[in-house]
Amino acid sequence: MKIRTLCLLIAAAVPALALCANCARAADAQENWGKMCAKCHGADGKGQTKMGQKLGIKDLTDAKVQADLTDADATKAIKEGVKDKDGKTVMKPAENLSDDEAKALVVYVRGLKK
C-alpha cells in the first residue's frame, strides 16, 4: 500500500515539476527580453521606442510580421544579430545566451502576437 501511494505521489508531482520548469523558462525569457530586447523593441514588442523608431523595427505583435518570421530566423537573429543590406549591424547578438534561452525568447516573441 505504501509503495502504491508513493507511486501516485510521484506520478502527480512529475507534471507539476515540468510545469514549474516551463514557468521558470518563461520568467527567464521575460527577464532576458527586458534586459536585452525591450530597449529597441519595447516592453510590448511594438518597436515604438526611440531606438525602435529610428531603426524601423517591425511590430512583433502584428500577426503578419509573426507569420513572416520563422523560428529559425528569429533564433538566428537573437544569436547572431542582424545586419542591414549594407552590412551595418542593426541588432547586436545576444551575448552569453544559451540555445535554450534563445528558444525561450522566440516562444516569448510568439506570445506577443495579438
Predicted local confidence at residue 21, as pLDDT: 47
pLDDT (average), residues 59-72: 96
Q: What's the mean pLDDT when you consider all of the chain?
A: 84
CATH architecture for segment(s) 2-110: Orthogonal Bundle (1.10)
Domain ranges of the chain: 2-110
pLDDT, tens digit (0-9, with 9 covering 90-100), for 19-43:
444 444 556 999 999 999 999 999 9
- Rounded to an integer, what distance in angstroms lies between the CA atom of residue 74 and that of residue 83? 13
Residue 75, sorted as left (phi over 0), alpha (psi -120 to 50) or beta, turns out to be alpha
Q: What would the DSSP string read from start to end of 1-30? A: -HHHHHHHHHHHHHHHHHHHHHHHHHHHHH
Q: Which of 3-7, 25-29, 107-111 is modeled with the greatest confidence?
A: 107-111
Predicted local confidence at residue 60, as pLDDT: 97
pLDDT > 90: percent of the chain: 73
